[in-house]
């Protein structure tokens, strides 16, 4: 069975543990619940099916039934906190604890790279801007950004981008983009993307006052739709985003970094 640090969803971990035990012995959900001390013989299965959530009281019981010890118990506890949390700040806190435990064990949390990259908007800005400014110090790069990012934040972003092999240092303060693309599909990545999108929306709000109208295009429209029209509009938005990426890819003399936010969201409940 894979190490616990390769999991982010405790339900998936418990299910894989159950399948592993099932292959090597006559193991059942009833036996599993009994070993954990639960009165209901189907409780753990209901948890794995997403019909219930593992409580704080149940965490050490299930951990003991699975034979977890030391750091594994701590990682499992934070994994439960991460999966069950409804608040993004609490999710981030739990995920960071999982990362710390994994690092102490010289292990890695899957998709942690993507989480680190997308958690802050400055990383994607510096990824595009630094290669356009060969020889520039972090403070020089920060001054070119139209929003309030410090030299230290740029310095930290450069360090992260090089660590993740998103940027490559050609020589001192000269950077080149690599072909690496950050991808993933975990809940932690979704969490980080939400964080970055919030920041980018805030930057768009600032741009209304900070950027001349001739240098920006901020507009919107409010419309009534049904499911079919919504799908067509959503597809058109996706097509527009892909077109923007293609056009930018054909640009050989980039001298500025822009952000394109495409926002399509409901203003009302369905009638």
pLDDT in tens, 205-240: 999 998 999 999 998 999 999 999 999 999 999 999
Q: How far is CA 133 from CA 28, 142, 143, 144, in A?
A: 62, 11, 12, 10
Mean pLDDT within 147-169: 92
% of the chain residues with pLDDT over 70: 96
| Residue 52: per-residue pLDDT | 92
Q: Is the predicted pLDDT of residue 125 greater than 90, yes or no?
A: yes
Supply the pLDDT for residue 189.
73
Report the pLDDT value the prediction gives residue 103, as an integer from 0 to 100: 82
Every domain of the chain and the residues it spans? 4-105, 111-218, 220-271
Q: pLDDT exceeding 90 applies to what percent of the chain?
A: 60
* pLDDT tier for residue 110 given thresholds of 50, 70 and 90: low
* Domain 111-218 = CATH 1.10.1580: no
* Residue 145 pLDDT greater than 80, yes or no: yes
| Mean pLDDT computed over 89-118 | 82
Q: How large is the greatest C-alpha to C-alpha distance in the chain, in angstroms? A: 71
Q: Which residues pair with 176 in a beta bridge?
A: 168
CA–CA dist 155, 158 (Å, integer): 5
Helix axes 88-104, 71-84, angle to 10 degrees: 160
| CA 166, chain centre distance (Å) | 16
CA distance 28 to 19: 10
Q: Please state the rounded mean pLDDT for residues 133-146.
A: 94
Residues 103 and 2: beta-carbon distance below 8 Å:
no
3-state secondary structure of 170: strand
- For position 184, what pLDDT does the model report? 55
Is 111 in contact with 184 (CB distance < 8 Å)? yes
Residue 67 pLDDT > 60, yes or no? Answer: yes
DSSP string, 31-79: HHHHHHT-SSTTHHHHHHTTSS---TTHHHHHHHHTT--THHHHHHHHH
| 199 exposure class (CB count in 10 Å sphere: 0-12, 13-18, 19+) | middle
Q: Which CATH class is domain 4-105?
A: mainly alpha
Contact 108, 164 (CB under 8 A): no
């Amino acid at each position: 069975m894979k190490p616990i640090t390769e999991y982010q969803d405790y339900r998936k971990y418990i299910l894989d543990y159950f399948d592993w035990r099932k292959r090597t012995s006559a193991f059942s959900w009833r036996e599993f619940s009994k070993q954990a001390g639960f009165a209901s013989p189907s409780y753990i299965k209901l948890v794995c099916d997403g019909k219930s959530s593992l409580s704080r009281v149940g965490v050490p019981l299930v951990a003991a039934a699975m034979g977890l010890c030391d750091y594994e118990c701590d990682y499992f506890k934070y994994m439960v906190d991460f999966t069950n949390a409804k608040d993004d700040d609490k999710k981030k806190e739990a995920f960071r604890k999982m990362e710390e435990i994994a690092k102490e064990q010289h292990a890695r949390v899957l998709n942690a790279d993507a989480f680190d990259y997308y958690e802050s908007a400055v990383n994607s800005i510096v990824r595009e801007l630094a290669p356009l400014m060969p020889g520039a110090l972090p403070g020089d790069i920060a001054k070119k950004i139209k929003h309030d990012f410090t030299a230290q934040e740029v310095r930290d972003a450069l360090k992260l981008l090089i660590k993740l092999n998103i940027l490559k240092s050609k020589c001192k303060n000269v950077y080149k983009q690599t072909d690496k693309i950050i991808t993933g599909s975990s809940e932690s990545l979704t969490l980080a993307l939400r964080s970055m999108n919030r920041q980018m929306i805030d930057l768009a709000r600032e741009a209304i006052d900070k950027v001349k109208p001739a240098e920006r295009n901020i507009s919107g429209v409010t419309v009534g739709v049904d499911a079919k029209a919504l799908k067509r509009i959503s597809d058109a938005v996706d097509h527009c985003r892909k077109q923007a990426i293609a056009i930018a890819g054909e640009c050989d003399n980039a001298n500025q970094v822009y952000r394109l936010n495409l926002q399509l969201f409901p203003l009302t409940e369905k009638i």
